[in-house]
Each structure stands twice: as C-alpha cells, then as structure tokens.
Structure 1
Amino acid sequence: MLDPVSSIAFEMQAGKGMFALLLGSGVSRSAKIPTGWDITLDLVRRVAALRGDDAGADPAAWYASAFGKAPDYSELLDVLATTQTLRQQVVRPYIEPSDEERARGEKLPTAAHRAIANLMAKGYVRVVLTTNFDPLLEQALAEIGVNVTVIASADHVAGALPLVHAGPTIVKLHGDYLDTRIRNTLVELSDYEPAINDLLDQIFDQFGLIICGWSGEWDVALKAAIDRAPTRRFPTYWASRGAPASAARALIERRGARAVQIDGADGFFDMLEQRIQAIEALRRPHPLSTDIAVAMLKEYLPEERHQIRLHDLLTGEFGRALDRLNGLNFSVASWDPKEFARQAAQYSAATEPLLPLAFTAGMWSNGRQAQLWQAFIAELAERRHGFSGVTALVDLRSFPASLVFYAFCFGALVGGHLPLIGELARKIADFGIGKFALGDALNIASVITDGGADRFKLLTDYANKRLPGSELIANTLRSVSKHVLRGSRAFDDALARLEMALAFGYAERMNSAEKGWFWAPPGRFLFDRELRDSLISLWRADYEARTLQSDLCVMAGLKQPPRFAEVQEQWKLPF
C-alpha cells in the first residue's frame, strides 16, 4: 500500500495541472504571520488604549460592550488611520518583517511556500485558493522568476483571463493585507460576491482539491461553495495536523474526500514536491528510444547525403534535452546540501538520454559534424548566465554541459579523433562571470567553483570518495562506453588520458606567471601512480618527437609546450 503523500504525488504527476490547492492560516503559521482575526483583536486593543481602557483577555467582548456590535477590521482601521496610506502603515508591521524578524527568518516564505511555488512553476498546480492575505506565496514564486495572477477581490475576477489561459493563479478569498476590505467576521465570511462564487463553482467542478491549513470552522461561504460542487470527478484530499474538526469531518464525508494526517504544512508540501520529482526521474525516456536515436546517428554520420537528416535528428534531441532541463526550473536562492544533491541528481537524469549520442558522435563525427555539438555544449554551459544566488547552485546549471562535454570527448578519444577534443576544449563560452574555454570551465574539478569537486561529496554515492567529481564522471563514461571498451584496464587508461590532457590544457590557459600560483585539475588517475607516470613519460617522448603535433598537444588544444615540470610537481603525491 502506498502512503497518502505518495498517492497524491502519483495522481498529481499523472494529471499535471489537475489539482487546485486550498490553503488556510496553518500554512503560514511557521512564518509567524498572524491571522486576520489576530490582527483585528490587536487593533481592538489599540482602540481601547486610545479610550483609556484595557480590552482585557477578551478584546472582542470589550468591543461589543463598548460599541454594541462585533469588531470590524475595516472600521477599526478607519478609527486608527484617516487615509489609505496611513492605514497601510498600520497593517504592514503585522505582515512585513522587521530587520530583527528577517534575521530570525520570520514573516518570510517557508518550505511550504517554496515547495508550492515549485509545483506551480512546473505546472503541477495551476490554481491556489487561500484564506491568507499575506504575500508569502507570491514572494516564493518571484524568487524563482514566476509571474502569477492574483485575484483578491470580485473586481479582479472581471479583469482576469479565464483560468485555462491565465497561467499560475492565486485567489485570495479573504483579500490582500494592503486592502482594507479583507474578510474577518462571521458576517463577512457568510457570503461572497457573485463573481467570486462563480469562480469557485468553476474551480471546484473542474479541479481536484488538496486542502491544507484550513479548519473549515468559520468560512461559511467557502464551505457552501465546496458543498454545491455538482460533480466529484476529481479527488479531494484534506491534510491536517491531528484529527479534523467537526466541520472538516462533515465536509470530508459529503465530498468523499480522503483525510491525510501530517506533521505540518512545511513537511507535507516539501515531501510532496520531492515525491513528484522522484516519479519524474523514473520517467526517463525508455532505453529503446535512446538506442534507436544512436542507431540513426550511426546511419547518418558516414554519408554526406544524410547531413540534413543528421542535423534534424540532433537538433530535435538537443531541443528535447533543453525542454527537460528548463522544466526543472530550480531555485538558486538559498543553500541546502540536500537541495544541491537533489538538483544534481535531477540534472543528471535529464541529461542522461543524450550521453550515448554524445559518445557515439565523438567516435564517428568529422570536424564539420562536430560543430553542432560544440554549439550545443556551449549553449548548455551558458545556462548559468544571468542567474545570481548561491554560487554552487548557479554553477550547477552548467553541470549538464560537463556531462555532455566529457561524453563527447571520451568518444572522440576512443575513436581516435583527438583534434575534436582540442577544438572543443578551446571553444569559448560566456558563463556570466566571464568568458572561458569549455575544457577549463566544464572540467569536473572546476565546474562548481564554490568548493570545487568536493561539492559532489554531497551526493550519496560519492560521499566517501577522495575525488567525487572524477568518480562521478568515471561512472558516467563507463556506462556509455561499456559496449566499446572491454575491461577495466582499457577504460582506466582511456579516462586517464582524457583527464590528464584536459588538465594540461587547463594549466596553459588558466595559469600565468602574473597569478603567482599553479594548479592543474586532478583526477582519479592521481592514485594510480604507475599509470600516471607512464603516460607522462610517453607524452614527453611524443612531444620531443612531434612538438605541438603530439597527441597531448592536440588533445589539450595546447599552443605552447606542455608544462610537464609544474604538473608533475603538483601531482607528485596524492593529497
């Protein structure tokens, strides 16, 4: 049996955009946002203080005794501030964080808001209904660059696009915190304007529903809208801490909903997003589709008459890979080791179908055919351009380019097309922080500049590796070359040649006398001293015989003599 969260995740992933969310105050509780009623009672205390009274433990009762009616949010603001601008200044401190609150992480988007924002950005959730009037969900969406339609009053409904065309939409049923018309009292919550009711009827009829953080006790009009929904074609889930209250139980029974016990909104939505991501990762293209693409590539590469078909095949595969990567749309705003590992795994899964094609293309392409791959790898590399945030997460956007780069270069090495490696390694791309040669910026030891390859230790399978980035590349290349390279010795020798050649290229292009330091990227070959020293010895002899036409110089794209002495000095002992 699946647990409830997994069941919801499967249904949301299978029916992308089928569910709407209904969020109550419980979703913003961990952000320390007061409810509308909390704010109303505090305003009552202020009014009492202005009259020289003490509202006591029951401000609502004091107000009813003093004014003969229940407290009304809008009327209280009119008493305390005479203009719209002043009224906003009264309300802002309840919702917007002070410097001290911001430092404590209060009144800011929570894990729940960010997970929901990611679900909306990826199209799993198109509509969010909320009784909250804070802007935290809008802020979470803005952090990842998503524009959202906000409907906070009946006036907004008239000017809004139909939901089918509107994109991500938030419906604030109680209004927005900067609008004095927010709903608080039982009278205000007993009915909606016709335009809002019509919108709710449409949503409850056309979408499944996931309810979280809402008790169902006071919102009479909202309960009525759920009750009158004419169909039950889509499921309803009600997530709550503890047993649902009586009003919720009645709605669950009438709606045929399923109650889901949760520890809190943050954990629930974060887990839901992770489960959906895991399901997506399992939906990689079937291996047969990759095999067919590789077979077509092999058919098209040898003959000039197939060049148009080759172009169409590759641009189609490149487009699909970019669609997969663009669909991930990860946040780079805050650092979390688990988030780094999750993003790396998703990027790897989205890139995986391309790697056998890249390896095959490296083995069999001529220089002109390789230009398509050069341009595409540069395009992948430049995906970090224009982003700011946590350096490791921004740099990780170029990780797919590294994987494709290594697969193509390894294929070229195995196929004996060494000039293709040097040409690709020297190609310049704009990474947003400067223009660098692909062979240097995409080297697995340098692609994540914030901490280098050690960041890959955060991946479960590489936590105990001495050079986790190099081991990751080794496992990736072993998978795509196993039908060509038989035996571990042949593979290790070939990978050592590639990693060492890239290191010599890096040593020429990235080090200079002015910098006062020297570094050549290490690889797993570093711990096979016999292999390392033997290969350098062979390359020294080859360079003395053929100079810049030697294998090392051609593979590394060198324009100057290889820096054998400095490289050997650095690699003399494993670190």
Structure 2
Amino acid sequence: MTLKLDLRSNPQAVSQITQGGLRRRDTGKLSAVANDLVGHRAGRVVTIDGADAFFERLDTLVSAQADAQRPNPRSTELLVASAKKFFARPEFRIQLEELIGDEQRRIDQHVVAASGQPGAGWSDDLFISAVARYEARTEILARIFGILGRYGTGEESRTALDVILGLSVREAAGGFTALINLRTYPAVLLFYAYGIGLLKARRFEALFELLTAPINVGRDNSKAVVSHLYLATWEGMENDPWRLVHELKGPKTALSDHLHGVFQQWTSDYIFATNEFTSLFEHFELLATLAYITLASDKAGLQAALGGAGRDFLWTPIGRAAWHS
C-alpha cells in the first residue's frame, strides 16, 4: 500500500486531518500521472502497512512537535533578563517573587494537563515527547534558578527550596508508570539548575543545605532532596526509560548524560568558558553522591564494607563521572 503525503503544510492542518478519521485503504502503485506530480512537488512516497496505525502515529508525532515548541526565544531571553534586573535591585524583590511564582504556576498547570493518559497503547515516542514538553515548560525558571544560585547571597534560598520541594511530590495516579513518574521531572531540573549555580559560586554551605533539605513525601515520611530527586533515587528512573532519549540507546548513565546536554545550553547565563561546564556538572553530581552516602550510611556500615565482611560495597547513585574511574 502506498500513500503520498505532503508534510510541509501546517502541522495543525495535518493534525485535524488525522483526528478527523481519515482512512485510506487504496492499494497498488501510484499511476504515471501521480508519479509525475510527486516528482514535480519534490514529494516522497511512503509505504505503510495500514492507514489507521499510520495516521494515529502521525497524529502523535505532529502533536508532540506542536506541544514541545519552546517559548519564543525572545520571550525567554526577555524574562531571564528581567529576572537579572529584579535580582540586582532589592526594590524589585517583589517583582522577582512574582515572576518565579508565575513560572511555577505555569509548570503546575502543565503537570496537571499532562496527567491524562493517552488512549492509544504505549510507544517510546510518548515518553520522548513528554520529556521535551516538560523541559520546554521548565527552561525559563531553571535558567532563573541558575542565576539565583550563582549570584545569590542566601536570601533567595528559601524561595528556591520552596519551589523545588513544592514540585517534587505528586498525588498517586494511574497510567503508564514512566509518564506518571515524569510529573516530578521539573523538580529534578530545578534542583540541578540551582545546585550547579551554587557550585559555580562556591557556596558550599548553601549547596549542602539544598542536597539535604527534607521533602515530605507523604504519610509523615520525609526524604532528603538528594535521596528523592537525584538520579537513581528519583522515581522517574524506575525501569530506566531514559535510555530511550539517548542517542546511544542504552548507556548506564543515560539520565546524567541527558541532563548534561540540557544544562550545557541552560547555564550560558553564568558559565562563559565552554570548557568549564562539564567539569562543573560532574563536580556537582559527585558532591550529590557524597551527600547521599553521608545520609544513607553510618560509620559501622562503612567499616563493614571496607572490612570485606559480607557485602563489600555500598550502593549509591552516581552520574557520568563514574566513567572516569
């Protein structure tokens, strides 16, 4: 079965066609006239097994492309520049708080809207497009948090922590586990953004406060940020779906590698040397790993591991820096 489809048109029109229930069941090859038209329009002939599956997948991909459109770059830069201005002048502190609050509400609204599960079955594209949408909605606030960490004096820490903690827990819901767990991804992004900024400023005390801040995860239980949002401790790592978004399709540090790529773009507001970012990123993850070990282990456990009695190791989350050992 062959179909010729011109995808250079408006994606919204394509989506309307697919949602309208277009069903083509023609068989056979294109006629000579049709072939001439395809050649004239520089079109492509796509061979498919069935129209229903083809248009359902097309609708998913077109919707993801439209939804994942990042904010207008000029709007993003304007908001980040506004945050810098507000941050530099104490009299604009209220405006800065309002800007952060607006972006937090924007993320919350997206999480609620994204909580509905797709009617079709699972496909890798569902996860990949959801990741792109969450990153698009979080980019502005993540860049602002990086600036707060880099140039802050401590007054901003309560605001940053409140936002991260507020986005780090969601009510139980049904659906695809990978998508449900992804609802706290914005908190992971903001945790990394603020933490990398703090490390760049060498504000180690504030960084340790961030890593060890308690999160109420429900039923009067609490976990430290580093035990709830950092790599393998985060619920979004269950069954490690992040291998799907990595070009190598399956590295052991897929999430760390992906975040490295994201923040390489998002830290340009305060990291100006291109060769500095990777070492700073890996340094942040190593400090997070050490903080996790500090909280999760006691002296007796460490001595037992070193003594080789029974299990001679301690488990800990670790990122891409592990490949340097």
What amino acid does structure 1 have at the position aligned with 2:50? Answer: D
What amino acid does structure 1 have at the position aligned with 2:66? Answer: I
The residue aligned with 2:319 is 523
Matched, 1:407 2:193: yes
In structure 2, what is the Cα distance between the partners aligned to 1:295 and 1:330? 34
Answer yes or no: is the 8 Å Cα contact 1:355–1:407 preserved in 2.
yes
Answer yes or no: is the 8 Å Cα contact 1:300–1:309 preserved in 2.
yes
In structure 2, what is the Cα distance between the partners aligned to 1:5 and 1:430? 48
What amino acid does structure 2 have at the position aligned with 1:351? Answer: T
Q: Give 2:59's match in structure 1, choosing from 255, 265, 272.
A: 272
Equivalent runs, 1:329-340 vs 2, <5 Å: 329-331=115-117, 336-340=123-127
Q: Give 1:353's match in structure 2, choosing from 140, 152, 171.
A: 140
SS across alignment from 1:239: coil
What amino acid does structure 2 have at the position aligned with 1:239? Answer: R
The residue aligned with 2:172 is 386
Q: Structure 1 residues 526 and 430 mapped into 2: Cα distance closer, same or farther (>3 Å)?
A: same
What amino acid does structure 1 have at the position aligned with 2:322? Answer: L
What amino acid does structure 1 have at the position aligned with 2:321? Answer: F
Q: Structure 1 residues 419 and 360 mapped into 2: Cα distance closer, same or farther (>3 Å)?
A: same
Q: Shift of residue 498 of structure 1?
A: 0.8
Matched, 1:450 2:238: yes
Matched, 1:481 2:277: no
Answer yes or no: is the 8 Å Cα contact 2:24–2:51 preserved in 1.
yes
Q: Shift of residue 432 of structure 1?
A: 5.6
Q: Structure 1 residues 5 and 240 mapped into 2: Cα distance closer, same or farther (>3 Å)?
A: farther
Q: Shift of residue 406 of structure 1?
A: 0.2
Answer yes or no: is the 8 Å Cα contact 2:198–2:206 preserved in 1.
yes
In structure 2, what is the Cα distance between the partners aligned to 1:497 and 1:305? 35
The farther-off stretch of 512-521 and 336-345 is 512-521
In structure 1, what is the Cα distance between the partners aligned to 2:217 and 2:8? 38
In structure 1, what is the Cα distance between the partners aligned to 2:114 and 2:178? 17
The residue aligned with 2:23 is 239
Give CA deviations for 1:153-205 in whole Å, capped at 9, x if unaligned: xxxxxxxxxxxxxxxxxxxxxxxxxxxxxxxxxxxxxxxxxxxxxxxxxxxxx
In structure 2, what is the Cα distance between the partners aligned to 1:262 and 1:4? 19
In structure 2, what is the Cα distance between the partners aligned to 1:367 and 1:348? 26
The residue aligned with 1:341 is 128
Matched, 1:467 2:253: yes
Matched, 1:3 2:13: no
Equivalent runs, 1:554-569 vs 2, <5 Å: none
Answer yes or no: is the 8 Å Cα contact 1:6–1:272 preserved in 2.
no
Q: Structure 1 residues 496 and 341 mapped into 2: Cα distance closer, same or farther (>3 Å)?
A: same
Q: Structure 1 residues 350 and 519 mapped into 2: Cα distance closer, same or farther (>3 Å)?
A: same
Q: Structure 1 residues 12 and 365 mapped into 2: Cα distance closer, same or farther (>3 Å)?
A: farther
Equivalent runs, 1:497-516 vs 2, <5 Å: 497-511=283-297
The residue aligned with 1:369 is 156
What amino acid does structure 2 have at the position aligned with 1:400? Answer: P
In structure 2, what is the Cα distance between the partners aligned to 1:270 and 1:336? 9
Q: Shift of residue 527 of structure 1?
A: 2.3
Q: Structure 1 residues 435 and 389 mapped into 2: Cα distance closer, same or farther (>3 Å)?
A: farther
In structure 2, what is the Cα distance between the partners aligned to 1:325 and 1:274? 20
What amino acid does structure 2 have at the position aligned with 1:450? Answer: E
Q: Structure 1 residues 462 and 343 mapped into 2: Cα distance closer, same or farther (>3 Å)?
A: farther
Answer yes or no: is the 8 Å Cα contact 2:142–2:266 preserved in 1.
yes
Equivalent runs, 1:87-106 vs 2, <5 Å: none
Matched, 1:327 2:113: yes
In structure 2, what is the Cα distance between the partners aligned to 1:408 and 1:395? 22
Q: Give 1:420's match in structure 2, choosing from 181, 186, 206.
A: 206
Q: Structure 1 residues 264 and 409 mapped into 2: Cα distance closer, same or farther (>3 Å)?
A: same
More contact order relative to length (CA 8 Å, sep ≥ 6): 2
TM-score after normalising by structure 1? 0.45
Identity within the alignment, %: 21
Q: Shift of residue 485 of structure 1?
A: 3.0
Answer yes or no: is the 8 Å Cα contact 2:243–2:249 preserved in 1.
yes
SS across alignment from 2:169: helix
Q: Shift of residue 409 of structure 1?
A: 0.7
In structure 1, what is the Cα distance between the partners aligned to 2:268 and 2:93? 28
SS across alignment from 2:223: strand
Q: Structure 1 residues 293 and 456 mapped into 2: Cα distance closer, same or farther (>3 Å)?
A: same
Q: Structure 1 residues 388 and 429 mapped into 2: Cα distance closer, same or farther (>3 Å)?
A: farther
The farther-off stretch of 308-317 and 413-422 is 413-422
Give aligned pairs, total.
289
Answer yes or no: is the 8 Å Cα contact 1:457–1:464 preserved in 2.
yes
What amino acid does structure 1 have at the position aligned with 2:12? Answer: F
Answer yes or no: is the 8 Å Cα contact 1:425–1:439 preserved in 2.
yes
In structure 2, what is the Cα distance between the partners aligned to 1:6 and 1:280? 18
In structure 1, what is the Cα distance between the partners aligned to 2:285 and 2:225? 14
Equivalent runs, 1:531-542 vs 2, <5 Å: none
TM-score after normalising by structure 2? 0.76
Give CA deviations for 1:352-395 in whole Å, capped at 9, x if unaligned: 23221121111122333222221111222113x32244443322
Q: Shift of residue 499 of structure 1?
A: 0.6
Answer yes or no: is the 8 Å Cα contact 1:12–1:276 preserved in 2.
no
The farther-off stretch of 371-380 and 361-370 is 361-370
Answer yes or no: is the 8 Å Cα contact 1:439–1:506 preserved in 2.
yes
In structure 1, what is the Cα distance between the partners aligned to 2:54 and 2:116? 19
Runs of 4+ in 1 over 6 A off after TM superposition: 513-517
The higher radius of gyration belongs to 1
Answer yes or no: is the 8 Å Cα contact 1:297–1:361 preserved in 2.
no
Structure 2 residue runs of 5 or longer lacking an equivalent are 28-47, 303-310
Root-mean-square deviation (Å): 3.3
In structure 1, what is the Cα distance between the partners aligned to 2:64 and 2:140? 17
